Structure 1
Amino acid sequence: MQPQRHRPGTGFTALHLVQPVDGGVATVVLDLAEAQVADGMRVVVACPGEGPLAAEAARRGAEVREWRATRDPGPGLYEETRQAARLVEDLRPDLVHAHSAKAGLAGRLAVRGRVPTVFQPHAWSFEAVGGVTGRLARRWERWATRWTDRVVCVSDAERLTGERAGVRASWSVVRNGVDLDRFRPAEEPAADPAALRAALPLLAPLPATAPLVVCVGRLCRQKGQDILLRAWPLIVRQVPGARLVLVGDGPESAALRDAAPASVLFAGAVPDTTPWYRAADLVVLPSRWEGMAVAPLEAMACGRPVVLSDVDGARESLPPGRESLCLVPPEDPPALAEAVSALLRDRPLREAVGSQGRRHVLSSYDVRQTARAIADVYRDVAAVPRPERREPIAQ
């Protein structure tokens, strides 16, 4: 006999298994959890206790269970998988939604298709590694589709990257969204550049006219802040007096601080990135890989122009026609410097690009649209009859 399953809504239990617990992944999970709680679902977020996700998820109405897991695969995987299996057995969710590579690995090993399972890569694991590790990651993603009812990608480009790697899945593309009530331009009189910078102690000593570039993201290899630091001397040469602020923390913090000149400031991890977007003249994210980064969408929602490396999701996130101005090849400091300098030197162009970007986000990247699309995925997946247990089919 088939186990009884609920449809999304009142009485439906969704278990979000999450690692990492910060950055764009945490933002996506929190926005989804809040919308799902408002729809009457029982929402459980299982994640490591450190970091901002657990406390904020509880504040937004989700149940929180501790899932002790590191970001990377290692000797702890067996115990992490056992923990995930115990959570599923205890909670008996109607659906498991695994976010990012580690949760996708441990979660699918724990569930093995016995509960409707959605996997959301938030950028593919095999893009982060090469050699034998990269080949193993590709092989796992191809094999794990047997335990995956739906793979949710945040951009068409991310889906195509999976397909090129040989991942044959049931796909849905659900683009990231932005909380438009939170991320919006400052209103007068607070919109004055001097007032915006004076409200941030790190920026208060800077002249209101100093060109300001902001990069928001975890300080790690993926986000490419080291590439931006290599480009920065070329930028300052063309735009004297420019300042750069790196907002975020992470494993590359010490190395980046050691490499940074005096014109680069470090804000560390902050509870709210909105004031930093508003204070910026330009927001830059020189990532090495992405699915679709959240920070540029937030910046555009605040009316700020962006310069991005041309990785998965970047073209789709930009307003049509701005690709040649706002996109640069990945890991190309001279091209990044030229694009940043051109926008810093042209205020009318920056304002036009910023206004166009905000209109684009308003029309296409409202987080409420994202939540509705994920609800549709849950409805489709939960409605499919399934055996009590599914095991992989040998290749």
Structure 2
Amino acid sequence: MKILMTALQPGGGIRTFFRYVYSQPVFEGYSFTILAPDQGGLEAFLSTFLPAGRIELVSADPGKAGFMRQVRKMARQHSYDLVHSHGFSAGLLTQLALTGNTTPHLMTGHDMFTKPLFLGFRGHVKRLLMAQLFNRMAAVHTVTEDAKRNFLEFFPSVADERVHPILHGVDAKFFQFGTASDIKKEIGLSTDVPLIGFFGRFMSPKGFRVLVEAMDIVRRRLKVSPMPHIVTFGWGGFIREDYAYLKELGLGDYFHQMAQTDNMPGALKGVDLIAMPSRWEACGLLAMEALAAGVPIVGSDSIGLREVLDGSPARQVPVGNAAALAEALVAEIDDIERRREVFQAYQPAAVARFGIERPARHLAELYVTVAASDK
């Protein structure tokens, strides 16, 4: 099968999707061409983590008009069985570019819609226009059932049967068999000090400030001894503002910033507990990775994350509730040895549940169905 893929922001979850899904044997014999900006070394990333020749990258021209011209030209000059866009913006522009072209178009949504996006008259008009374009697509793929419900809440005119939820997955065995990194030694922390890992980006949806406020409550009200520390990874987003905020609260000594790591299994297993206070997720991949690694995790009951944590031993707290998060973190820390055993006992179930082989197989089946929709 010959597929044209498009993406405008091929980072974060989209890049992880490429790495996990298209590396699978089920896509042997497929021909993928992706039109996307070569941001952050995308070409090098694809050549490192995917089989040689699996995906050819065509660098997108700057600007929306240039992107659409390229989509139109490529779809016209090459006989693709399917066009697969990644992300809502890429999906909408790709559908505009395909006007008059009969090649079936599948879009994968990698995010959630929120009400502030559609406030006022302009927001209402924007939503109507987006609905028209979504209705022209052959199908929409979401990475959780939650994401499907979110999509249909905002775009109820799209037929339910044209939105296909496939719970995403991870390279579960990679996380299962990873070896723990000695993070406490790296940051100069005593082995008896509880270490909590935050692996999210420094953006509002990931809830880092909720974790900061929870730590403030732990220090002032719950008075845990020894006081737990937090380790974070990577840069970007609002890291400067977020770290300035925690220092204003007098928490600077309890937070440690480390560089982004390529050894995620080691980093996950190198902490005592993982905090994931997300406000929303399209799919809680980090939670899948943590559970596959057998590491205790406390998460919010946010859309997209609750679907992953339900049925697992993980404690869930209300979205944005710093006090509840503080109490859950302390409860885990106070019983950390037993809780670690509980999560390790659940690990085989997590590996089976979240392994990438299942969603890759289902996506390949969806490709066949959508490609046949113009026949």
TM range (shorter): 0.7 to 0.9
Inter-partner Cα distance in structure 2 for 1:378 and 1:102: 21
Inter-partner Cα distance in structure 1 for 2:345 and 2:8: 34
SS of the residue corresponding to residue 183 of structure 1 reads helix
- AA at the equivalent of 1:327: Q
Inter-partner Cα distance in structure 2 for 1:243 and 1:267: 13
- AA at the equivalent of 2:97: A
Q: Check conservation: 1:58, 1:64, Cα contact below 8 A.
A: no
State the TM-score, normalizing by the size of structure 1. Answer: 0.82
1:1-395 → structure 2 map (5 Å cutoff): 12-35=1-24, 38-59=27-48, 60=50, 61=52, 62-68=55-61, 76-112=63-99, 114-126=102-114, 129=117, 131-132=119-120, 135=124, 138-167=127-156, 168-169=158-159, 170-186=162-178, 191=180, 196-197=182-183, 201=186, 203=187, 205-237=188-220, 238=222, 239=224, 240-260=226-246, 261-320=252-311, 322=313, 326-385=315-374
Q: Check conservation: 1:101, 1:124, Cα contact below 8 A.
A: no
Inter-partner Cα distance in structure 1 for 2:275 and 2:77: 44
Q: Check conservation: 2:196, 2:275, Cα contact below 8 A.
A: yes
Count of residue pairs the alignment pairs up:
358
Q: Check conservation: 2:26, 2:364, Cα contact below 8 A.
A: no
- How big is the shift at 1:27? 0.6
Inter-partner Cα distance in structure 2 for 1:207 and 1:320: 34
- How big is the shift at 1:179? 0.5
Normalized per residue, the structure richer in helix is 2
Q: Check conservation: 1:185, 1:303, Cα contact below 8 A.
A: no
Runs of 5+ unmatched residues, structure 1: 1-11, 70-75, 387-395
- AA at the equivalent of 1:226: R
Q: Check conservation: 1:126, 1:138, Cα contact below 8 A.
A: no
- How big is the shift at 1:296? 1.0
Change (3 A) 1:321 1:49: closer
Inter-partner Cα distance in structure 1 for 2:5 and 2:132: 22
Inter-partner Cα distance in structure 2 for 1:134 and 1:283: 37
Change (3 A) 1:297 1:243: same
- How big is the shift at 1:235? 2.8
Change (3 A) 1:140 1:42: same
Change (3 A) 1:48 1:148: same
Q: Check conservation: 1:17, 1:97, Cα contact below 8 A.
A: yes
Change (3 A) 1:127 1:242: farther
Change (3 A) 1:258 1:367: same
- How big is the shift at 1:303? 0.7
* Percent of aligned positions that are identical: 25
Inter-partner Cα distance in structure 1 for 2:37 and 2:326: 38
Which deviations, in whole Å up to 9, do the C-alpha atoms of 1:261-313 show, x marking residues without a partner?
Answer: 22112224333322211111111222222121211111111111222222222
- Counterpart of 2:249? none
Inter-partner Cα distance in structure 2 for 1:137 and 1:179: 38
Q: Check conservation: 1:14, 1:42, Cα contact below 8 A.
A: yes
Q: Check conservation: 1:36, 1:43, Cα contact below 8 A.
A: no
SS of the residue corresponding to residue 32 of structure 2 reads strand
